[in-house]
Amino acid sequence: MVVGIDNAVTATKSTISSAKKTPPTLSSDSVINFARGDPTMYESYWRKLGDRCSMVISGNDLMSYFSNPGNLCWFLMPELDHAIRRLHGVVRNAIADDDRFIVVGTGSTQLFHALLYALSSPNEPEPISVVAAAPFYSSYPEETEFLRSGLYKWAGDAYSFNKDGPYIEVVTSPNNPDGAIRGAVVNRKGGKLIHDLAYYWPQYTPITGRANYDVMLFTFSKATGHAGSRIGWVIVKDKEIATKMVKFIELNSIGVSKESQLRAAKILGVISDDCLNSGPNKEENFFEYGQHLMSERWEKLREVVKRNGVFSLPKYSPDYCNFSGEYTDHNPAYAWLKSKEGLNSDNLLREHKIVTRGGTKFGVGSKYTRISMLSSDDEFNLLLERLSAIKVTTNGNY
């Protein structure tokens, strides 16, 4: 651990040139991967904003470990702290007032590990059980078991959990993979909840109220599409939990990249500015863009699925969105496909060169599979084309 550094470096500039990349070339023979939640669909929006989100960082900037030594989360840049609280206030999807602690992490994965550490106790006779209601996010079991910690262990589906004693339940809402709005399932004494709200943003779901839970997990990647920056944050009520999380990240990575934090702060600030712009030159803000794009994609996918008769999709009812001020549809980040004939959906799609993530990884049967709705336009259009080609023949084959 480094000691003796008293002052955080102040970032005086905030522009960085974007790296150029050549998009992959797709052909009729290409295998398309929809198992990943890589949010490349947002690239065109950020491209049209030009230099508004650009950053320049000098060689002598951001050299200290410390961002704000007076803050409990000493590696959290003040600019990002302000931008996060402001955006939640603008969108009205979570309470992030000054009496709450914000802990930043290298993506939500590091923060999930930090939360498991913070919510467990070394004084318990056995590891605390970690559960989530099926279908649950496919990485929860692996992330929980990866370090083989003596503090916590994966205990499976919350619906079937009946063990006495303390437990941690992960509540993902909207849920990954099926987009359902979730609440806690176990609801017993000694339970501790992690509310994973990665998809509680207007492009995916109506914002029906300000989330006000003890622990709320968010990620920059799904909020704005900037997965490569590896930024996530948790809004925490309890100081002791926040302190333990900070200690975990201090020992795990000695803080979080300041460059990534400043980029996130800049982008979140631009989003808030555009959402608050009510002038005559007002243009479509990021969430309006995302909501329209997701709505169009879901409409096209439902039409294809309806025509081919092989799969079904969940149905969602519109709800009033406090952000947009109107009734909007649920447009989840993933499509939860179900084979009507009980076939292995993942295997069936792989025969058509579509890679998905099968239902067994989410704690349910193989007739389900998850398809990302966040890919580039070219990939998504090719997905629709291939799904349209899957037909039931007279002998029951596909």
- Report if residue 41 sits inside a domain: yes
Do 45 and 94 share a structural domain? no
- Report if residue 141 sits inside a domain: yes
Please state the rounded mean pLDDT for residues 83-96: 98
pLDDT for position 398: 59
Determine the length of the chain: 398
Provide the CATH number for the domain around residue 164. Answer: 3.40.640.10
Do 162 and 264 share a structural domain? yes
Do 288 and 198 share a structural domain? no
Helix (H) or strand (E) holding 385: helix 377-389
- Report if residue 71 sits inside a domain: no
From the list 54, 44, 59, the residue with the least C-alpha distance to 19 is 54
Do 206 and 150 share a structural domain? yes
Do 345 and 379 share a structural domain? yes
User: How far is C-alpha 125 from the chain's CA centre?
Assistant: 34
From the list 232, 213, 266, 206, the residue with the least C-alpha distance to 96 is 213
Q: In whole angstroms, what is the distance from residue 170 CA to residue 215 CA? A: 10
- Report if residue 7 sits inside a domain: no
Q: State the pLDDT confidence band at 24, using cuts at 50, 70 and 90.
A: low
pLDDT for position 15: 39
Do 139 and 24 share a structural domain? no
Do 322 and 210 share a structural domain? no
pLDDT for position 351: 95
- Report if residue 236 sits inside a domain: yes
Q: Where among 252, 274, 296 does a domain terminate?
A: 274
Provide the number of structural domains found in the chain. Answer: 2
Do 310 and 204 share a structural domain? no
Q: In whole angstroms, what is the distance from residue 104 CA to residue 78 CA? A: 11
Provide the CATH number for the domain around residue 42. Answer: 3.90.1150.10
- Report if residue 382 sits inside a domain: yes
List, for residues 142-152, the tens digit of each pLDDT value.
Answer: 999 999 999 99
Do 321 and 207 share a structural domain? no
Lookup: tokens for 42: 């947002």
Range of the domain at 29: 15-51+284-389
List, for residues 211-227, the tens digit of each pLDDT value.
Answer: 999 999 999 999 999 99
- Return the bridge partners of 159, or none: none
- Report if residue 59 sits inside a domain: no
List, for residues 107-161, the tens digit of each pLDDT value.
Answer: 999 999 999 999 999 999 999 999 999 999 999 999 999 999 999 999 999 999 9
Do 268 and 193 share a structural domain? yes
From the list 326, 258, 283, the residue with the least C-alpha distance to 79 is 258
pLDDT for position 28: 75
